[in-house]
A and B are shown apart, each in its own frame.
Chain A
Amino acid sequence: MGFRGTAIWSAVPFQGRGVVIPSPLESVSLSVVIFLVTAAAAPLLKSRQASLINIAFSASAIASVIAAFAGFNAVATGAVETMVLPVGLPDLPFYLRLDATSGFFVTVTAVLVFFVSIYSIGYLKGFIGHPAGLAGQRKVTSLAVFYCLFVAGMLMVVLADDAYFFMISWELMAAASYFLVVFEDENKEARRAAFIYLLIAHVGAILILLSFGVMAGLSGGFENFNGYTFSAMRASHIPGVWKAAAFFLSFFGFAAKAGVVPLHVWLPEAHPVAPTNVSALMSGVMLKVAVYGMVRVSFDLLHVSDWRMGGVVLVMGLVSAVMGILYALMQVDLKRLLAYSSIENVGIILVCLGLAMIFKSFDMTALASLSLVAGLYHITNHAMFKGLLFMGAGAVMHSTHERNMERMGGLIHRMPQTAVFFLVGCLSISALPPFNGFVSEWLLFQAFLLSPSFPTPLLNLIIPLGAALVALTAALSARCFVKVFGVVFLGRWRGQHDTTVNETGLEMRGAMGFAAFACLALGLLPVFFIGWIDAIPRELVGGRVSETASEFGWLWLTPVAAERASYSAPVVFAGILAVVAAAYLLTRIPRAGVRRAPVWDCGFEKITPRMQYNSTSFAMPLRRIFGFLLSVRETVRPSGADPAFPKRLTYRLKIRDRIWHGCYMPVADASFWIARRFGRLQHGRIQIYLLYSFATLILLLVFA
């Protein structure tokens, strides 16, 4: 009952040089306040949409810069700051805490929000300036409001240090993103997607809440509200069974939000229908906030110490990774594809976390911190390249008004800069050096390979298999993004109508450029990054990677020891560049000419763009191979008098999510069945109702 109505500001003074600089936590709070104020003020500019967009998103960009710097400092210093706000329940005010872990997530979130906010300025102008007809002119007020609330919610989740504030922020994030998903509300598909999203998010939230219930009940008891603070949970020792209960409740709760298979079904529905800047944020950072929850609960609050928990996380991660990328390969909707790919990447992150838990449970802190660092690295990377890819997809949609890849093609000629940025995204997500995706995957493989034999035979079987599946996932994702880039940007335009497709505006290109640059920088300078996040593994698993990682200077990444493994992205990059330059110059010497000619048509002279390989045909071999995992229905129906010489062929392909039909539809059907049964209880006859009341009375009298 200590903090009745008064704020206690116990901020650690930041090392300011002379001038008073707000501490990181204060800065992040300031940024949250800016977001909230922007959200509140946005409706005032309702009638002036253009200035609304400029002001609201500039404010978001500024706020995110503040948050990013603060988060960066918090991670770099590794200091822990706390704050208590005088709101909430009187005995349970809002506790805020910024440590290295939350600082890291603040930074990742804020950086991507910064990019996306800049992008949004250009992107949303398309909504208001657009001639009615294609997308229709529409007000973006609600989008601006909920965008700011959404970001504020994410930052608050990361800052929260008690169960109540955490849940409020968590659901604020969910609710705001729900409204963003349903932004195009006249679209039935959008409503359906938003509904599924909100429902699964809410189920997840309740599971998390129950997990907090377990932890709070066992740490502080329910004689008062003190048990709800994270510090109480952190300090308490929870007995085995309850610990497992709390862990699994929270894990599945967060997994629902992170889009882990089989709780992923909302994700490929919600991402495509949301405005693209929102999908970029949802995919890029919202899923990471869910991962943050897992990290916070399992490493920090529960001190997970049973390898089986890590094993479950690992296996779920593997399943998500493989299923996610397989489904991604089958998609023709660009944003849906990216959404499935997010499922895959979350899977990889979970694999890292699962490994970290397993290592930690066997007290192998060095390896645990290596896997954790791999996971955190991948979180950052995925935020950057998935944000970039979504922004690129948005740019493409913005110009072509198409989501279906089967009607795109050859955009590299019309949108050259976007194509370059998108290519960088594709290279990064395909884990190709020297871009960032490769570094995290490399670290993960190191963690897998350096794993010594565990005392449990089961783990010894799972670990190699896991490595194999991660390798498969990486290869498939390269394939997937060859398809995306090839079909969308290369080849010739497949569209029905010949639209004038132009390069997008400066803001959008700028944002994509920033993100692409971030991808490259993260890929080239991993040592700095690992040094920066050094405090997190120390805080969570009690080990560190940075010392060995930077043993040979910034150029060489040696996570464990030089003789175990080393990787130098700058040298690889420079080497390839040098060879390319040399080859380019040397091959010029013979001075051979260049001329253009029609493509080789094999003697068939009526080649049309529709004969190009498209997304569906590109994915066909894999549909054959992995078809048993998916639910594929493929029919070819010839029409015409003679079946041997059909006039036209109708090809129909339907790929459905097995999990949706196997797990979700039965539940929905069962609910309606039960509802019908319950409905039958209510006959409408008053005698029956009286009988119920009579029977209840008798029953109670008999048993009570």
Chain B
Amino acid sequence: MENGFAAQITGVLAALILLTAFALLVQRRIYGLLHIFAWQGLFLSISAAVVGYSTGLRHLYISSALTLALKVFALPYILYVLIHRLKIQKEVEEVVNIPTTMLIGIALVIFSYHLTSPVRELSTLMTRSTLAVALATVMLGLLMMITRRNAVTQIIGFLSLENGLFFAATSATYGMPLVVELGVALDILIAAFIFGIFFFQIRTTFDSLDIKEMEKLKEED
């Protein structure tokens, strides 16, 4: 596979990741969110593999495999089980209505593009144009966390944010050194473990996973 083609594929995958990020913002149903998240993970994994293949960097395959295992199978499955067991409400409530969220999202994408443009000039990598998408995904993940009220959706937002970071790592730099990659993966695993515990704790303490309950600690009278 020649570089040009790989670049095209990466570009397409970047577009798909961005699309899924938007889809996460729009999606109202919680299982739908899980599916979209799994898809995003899959695109991520493929893009890592493609970059790895075209550049010949072996450790990217490991990253790709880790992503596939963690983000496409393990995490969605864990979440699925949790949602099922905790009998979480299936509909997602959001703080800001969806069209507004979409508009903000688009503004963010433009902003990310604008920000990364000087960097893109510098880069000689074939994946250089994807940095904007990575940044946009990070920001959209953050936006999702801000606009959702449920602990599970917040976590999904958080994970999608991490996806954006991972995408930045693979696309902008052809992957971080392996130690770092492994460490990051381990951290995400522990984090997943912890939020699992958390869901149970929150559930047993508050009888719901709606984080509206968790607004007691504040400075306002």
Chain A residues close to B by CB (< 8 Å)? 676, 678-687, 690-691, 693-694, 697-698, 701
Contact = CB atoms under 8 A, between A and B. Distances in A.
A694 B142 contact: yes
A164 B219 CA distance: 38
Contacts of A697: 142
The 3 lowest CB-CB distance pairs between A and B, nearest first, are A684-B218, A679-B219, A682-B219
A679 B221 contact: yes
Contacts of A693: 142
B215 interface: yes
27 contacts: A676-B221, A679-B221, A680-B220, A681-B219, A682-B219, A683-B215, A683-B218, A683-B220, A684-B214, A684-B215, A684-B216, A684-B219, A685-B215, A686-B154, A686-B211, A686-B215, A687-B146, A687-B147, A687-B148, A687-B149, A690-B146, A694-B139, A694-B146, A697-B142, A698-B111, A701-B111, A701-B115
Contacts of B115: 701
Nearest to B96: A687
Given A687-B95, A701-B115, A682 B218 contact: yes
B146 A691 contact: yes
A683 to B, nearest CB: 6
A693 B111 CA distance: 17
A693 B143 CA distance: 11
B145 interface: yes
Contacts of A686: 154, 211, 214-215
Interface in B65-121: 95, 111, 115
Nearest to A694: B142
Q: Which among A678, A681, A701 has the highest number of chain B CB atoms within 10 Å?
A: A701
A682 B220 contact: yes
Nearest to A691: B146
Given A690-B142, A691-B146, A694-B142, A684 B220 contact: yes
A687 B211 CA distance: 9
Contacts of A690: 142, 145-146
Interface string B195-221: 000000000000000010011111111
Contacts of A687: 95, 145-149
A538 B217 CA distance: 65
Interface in B171-212: 211
Q: Which among B115, B143, B145, B211 has the highest number of chain A CB atoms within 10 Å?
A: B145
Given A679-B221, A682-B220, A701-B115, A694 B215 contact: no
A514 B85 CA distance: 88
A694 B143 contact: yes
A676 B219 CA distance: 8
Given A676-B221, A687-B146, 15 more contacts: A678-B219, A679-B219, A682-B220, A684-B216, A684-B218, A684-B220, A686-B215, A687-B148, A687-B149, A691-B146, A694-B139, A694-B142, A698-B111, A701-B111, A701-B115
Q: Which among B139, B142, B143, B219 has the highest number of chain A CB atoms within 10 Å?
A: B219
A690 B140 CA distance: 12
Interface string B36-77: 000000000000000000000000000000000000000000
Interface in B126-173: 139, 142-143, 145-149, 154
Contacts of B146: 687, 690-691, 694
A690 B95 CA distance: 13
A686 B145 CA distance: 9
A680 B111 contact: no
B162 to A, nearest CB: 15
A50 to B, nearest CB: 52
Given A686-B214, A687-B146, A694-B143, A679 B95 contact: no
Contacts of A685: 215
A56 B113 CA distance: 76
